[in-house]
Amino acid sequence: MNKLISAISLILSLSLMSLEARAQLQPVTPPAATSPDKKIAIGFLELRNDARYEPVRAYERLILKKPDHPFAGAQVGIEDAKSQQRAIGAEVTLERMTAAKAEEAPALLKAAIERGMNYILLDVPPELYKSIAETAKGRDIILFNVSAPEDTLRRDVCARELIHVFPSQAQLSDALVQFLVSKKWRDYLVFQGPDPYDDLITKAFTKSAQKFGARIVANQRFEPGTDPRQREKNNPALLSAINKDWDVTFIADKAFEFSRQVPFQTVKPRPVVGAIGLETVAWNWTWEHNGAAQVNSRFSRYAPNRKMEGADWASWMAVKMIATSALRSRSTEFKPIRDFMMGPGTFDADKGLAVSVRAWDHQVRQAILLAGDYYVVASAPLEGFLHRTNELDSLGDDETDTPCHLNR
């Protein structure tokens, strides 16, 4: 009996040893990586049926341009931020908020603030900025203008809670005139359309010409259309038949219908800039320096049917500024992030020169690209255009040029 018990014990021991050995040979599944407990929530506020994104048509079946909301740019920013989340100590999230009507936008913003959202990208028409700024006044929030170039938003709205990532019209015009003057092209013929926005563009271009020692030799007002009775106002050849010479034809034409007829139609062979030909932009899909090709490639994952444009870049940049500020300030709290962004913070914009926020009007100082249809001709500021502190401040409103002084 004792021998039988001993044999059974031996068999059981060997079986247990075999089970333990097999268990040791099984692959061990590592614990799943845990996301940071904290979150940095970013909102993207837009307006449904925003007129700025209506297709630009020559006639019903011929679409000349098809602009789109720049939400895809923000998505690229979130994708880039994921690689930094562990170092930041927080998950960076993005929420798209669409106002059905213009008057609903401030209420959407207020609700987001009350939910604890501290960062919101604004893709709304310029006329909404005043009410939105009033809603945000005194709150712990930063609003990022990612699509509106109007100078009045920088000069008159002048809100502490607002950062203009998209370049101002003054920056865009200064960049264009810097390039023209660098070529020794100083005399300009202007074609100006009837839209109020055309007047704003013309005024900005005229101010830039004066700033850099150039001049407007004539301002010809045109009327879009093909009415033969209006041929003296809609025919580029007739409009350019002036008794003065000029170096460059500048076009201010929001509707774009007249612009596309101007190249090769003026009475003298002159470069065309502005609404067509050479344009000044925050971003262009053919820019291939400073890591831009990789940014364009990542953008194509979210918007495979179009190219990355200026508002897309501004949305991407706004998210990058938030994530970088959290990383560099070593904090996920609002105040340290804001203080870094508004203070010593500089950010790689993949355009060469590092960008930063101007203290006086919260415009992001940045390089401006001068682009044709398939090539970036130059990047401003151009060589030789100096500034006492930062060469990027040779573009747009300097501290002495604006009524907005948020640093005082």
Average pLDDT, the chain: 90
Q: Please report the pLDDT score of residue 69 as a whole number.
A: 97
Residues 128 and 55 in one domain: yes
Do 200 and 156 belong together in one domain? no
Query: What tens digit of pLDDT does each residue of 79-123 get?
Result: 999 999 999 999 999 999 999 999 999 999 999 999 999 999 999
Q: What is the dihedral of CA 112, 113, 114, 115, to 10 degrees?
A: 50
Domain boundary among 245, 280, 315: 280
**Residue span of the structural domain in which 233 resides:** 171-280
Residue 329 structure tokens: 């300030």
Q: Is the pLDDT of residue 35 over 70?
A: no
Query: Does residue 8 surpass a pLDDT of 70?
Result: no
Same domain, 269 and 183: yes
Domain co-membership, 49 together with 143: yes
Give the mean pLDDT of 7-13.
46
- Shared domain for 46 and 148, answered yes or no, is yes
pLDDT at 232: 80
Query: Which band of pLDDT confidence, cut at 50, 70 and 90, is reported for residue 59?
Result: confident
Q: Inter-axis angle of helices 310-329 and 71-82, to 10 degrees?
A: 30
* Structure tokens belonging to residue 319: 């998210």
Above 70 in pLDDT, residue 281?
yes
pTM above threshold 0.85: yes
Contacts for 172 with CB less than 8 Å, ≥ 6 apart: 149, 204, 280, 281, 368
Question: Do 269 and 304 share a domain, yes or no?
Answer: no
240 and 354 in one domain?
no
Model confidence over 240-269: pLDDT tens digits?
A: 999 999 999 999 999 999 999 999 999 999
By percentage, how much of the chain surpasses pLDDT 90? 82
CATH number at residue 306: 3.40.50.2300
Among 144-158, 182-196, 221-235, 273-287, the minimum mean pLDDT is found in: 221-235
The yes-or-no verdict on residue 368 having pLDDT over 60 is: yes
Q: Does residue 204 register a pLDDT over 90? A: yes
> DSSP 3-state assignment of 172?
helix
Does 401 map to a domain? no
Give the pLDDT band of residue 36 (cuts 50, 70, 90). low
> Is residue 4 domain-resident?
no
Residue 183 CA: distances (Å) to CA of 187, 214, 247, 282, 378? 11, 12, 10, 21, 12
- Final residue belonging to a domain, choices 222, 257, 280: 280
Look at residue 404 and give its three-state secondary structure: coil
Domain identity same for 123 and 175 = no
d(CA 141, CA 113): 7
Lowest mean pLDDT among 20-34, 178-192, 320-334: 20-34
Examine the domain organization and report whether 218 and 267 are in the same domain: yes
Q: Is 217 helix (H, G, I), strand (E, B) or coil?
A: strand
Number of domains in the chain: 2
